[in-house]
Structure 1
Amino acid sequence: MCVRNVPIFNHLTEEEMNEVFEKVESRSYEKDDHLYMAGDPKDSLFVLHRGKVRIYRLNEEGKEQLIRVLLPGDFTGELALFGGEKLHDSYAEIVQDSRVCEISKADLYGLLKEYPDIGIKIIERFSTRLNEVEQQATNIALMNSEERLIEYIRTHVDDEDFLRLKMTKKDLSSYLSMQPETLTRIFKKLEADGMIGKIDNRTYQVLDYSIL
């Protein structure tokens, strides 16, 4: 079932989950497809069941700014619930073949009235995401490139002191608002300084705990 392992729904009983599933349209997308593009109407909540999706904006020069990467259980389109702008100002691109649960705004409102806990879960996740966006904006404004990468490592390292990148380095450089060449140079500098050790292109181990 598309919604079974999704955090905003998995607290429901089997019967309640079946009712949600009746309102869900499950769709498959191929790499390079889009869930939505800037200018499309905000009229659905999209919940990623399988795959990976990147959310990004284009600035006035047409340069991409990565906002976040969706992994299974994540969702996008929730701003349709809170009014405001009626059109998307970002793009949701499929990074790898994906399965997505789509719930229309009207159906979601009905579910929220019947199961208020769903709304609470959405608000909790949205609040966390908003805090992350605000912190990221602060980091970009106040930190240099090396400080931003170190802060990213500090906040994304796992319990075993490994940084396991869930996005490409090109996307990471966009997320951290720096050129890919700058990101590569800083990674190499941190390795040379003995602060991190490279396991593979997506995995690093923290060696100097002062950065944590």
Structure 2
Amino acid sequence: MPTIMEKGLYAYLTDRKEAGLKENVITKKLKKGDILYDTTQQDTGIFEIVSGAVKLGGISNKGKEYIYELLTPGEFFGNLAFLGPDFCEFCKVLTATELRYYKTPYFKHLITHDPQLADWAFSKIVFRWNKTESMLANIRSYEPRERIQVLYSSLQRKIMTANGREVFLNKLITYQDIADLTATTRQLAADTIH
């Protein structure tokens, strides 16, 4: 029998005929440039990327936007209420994107009542931690131009959009996004990539 990791959460829940699935999981389609949520929203629910990509970020003390994460199909994010009132972020859509929205109480119930689902959720959390730790390690390990090249190469992969188009992830982001993710400047990112 395929695992949750092999088939995905929604297929796992569908196969199990999980009670409340239709009422608690909603599919959303968004266009490039849409804002899923902004820094004023705390309770966002849990989102799963089915196709497309999003970027997560915040607003600096000086009022300037920055990003710290790019998410692609199969990744989960959201539920900022768990992080307390001092944390806030925004989520912007990079290309036509399809998401599944899981209501927070339903998601909590699932992972606290199904050990397989709890294991799956922990693996998703560890995956996100690893992405962040790897990004920080790159910032500490490489010189600025090398950081940009390493990031740009890692993003040179295709993803499927909600419109059924294949696009390269590195073509969806700006020089400023690259600078944010590498702790460099927009100008250095532009000079390095061209």
Q: Shorter-normalised TM-score: what interval? A: 0.7 to 0.9
Tell me the equivalent position of 2:40: 39
Query: Which one is further off, 5-14 or 139-148?
Result: 5-14
Compute the displacement of 1:18 (Å). Answer: 5.5
Inter-CA distance 9–26: structure 2 relative to 1 (3 Å threshold): same
SS in 1 for 2:146: helix
SS in 2 for 1:40: coil
Given the two structures, how large is their TM-score scaled by the length of structure 2? 0.73
Inter-CA distance 65–187: structure 2 relative to 1 (3 Å threshold): same
| CA–CA distance in structure 2, aligned partners of residues 13 and 44 of structure 1 | 18
Tell me the equivalent position of 2:170: 165
Tell me the equivalent position of 1:200: none
Inter-CA distance 130–79: structure 2 relative to 1 (3 Å threshold): farther
**What pairs with 1:68-147 in structure 2 (closer than 5 Å)?**
68-77=69-78, 80=81, 83-86=82-85, 88-141=87-140, 143-147=142-146
| CA–CA distance in structure 2, aligned partners of residues 20 and 6 of structure 1 | 23
Tell me the equivalent position of 2:189: 183
**What pairs with 1:43-58 in structure 2 (closer than 5 Å)?**
43-58=44-59
SS in 2 for 1:12: helix
RMSD: 3.2
Query: Which one is further off, 93-102 or 8-17?
Result: 8-17
Higher CA-based Rg: 1
% identity of equivalent residues: 16
Inter-CA distance 60–144: structure 2 relative to 1 (3 Å threshold): farther
| CA–CA distance in structure 1, aligned partners of residues 6 and 40 of structure 2 | 27
| CA–CA distance in structure 2, aligned partners of residues 39 and 141 of structure 1 | 32
Render the CA deviation track for 1:120-161: whole Å, top value 9, x for unaligned: 222212112212212323433564311312443675677xxx
| CA–CA distance in structure 2, aligned partners of residues 127 and 133 of structure 1 | 10
Structure 2 contact 51–98 (Cα < 8 Å) conserved: yes
**AA in 2 matched with 1:44:** G
SS in 2 for 1:96: coil
Given the two structures, how large is their TM-score scaled by the length of structure 1? 0.68
Structure 2 residue runs of 5 or longer lacking an equivalent are 158-167
Render the CA deviation track for 1:52-99: whole Å, top value 9, x for unaligned: 21111221223332212222221111565xx44146511101222322
Render the CA deviation track for 1:169-210: whole Å, top value 9, x for unaligned: 42223211222321232234xxxxxxxxxxxxxxxxxxxxxx
Count of matched residue pairs: 179
| CA–CA distance in structure 2, aligned partners of residues 145 and 9 of structure 1 | 38
Structure 2 contact 39–88 (Cα < 8 Å) conserved: yes
Inter-CA distance 17–59: structure 2 relative to 1 (3 Å threshold): farther
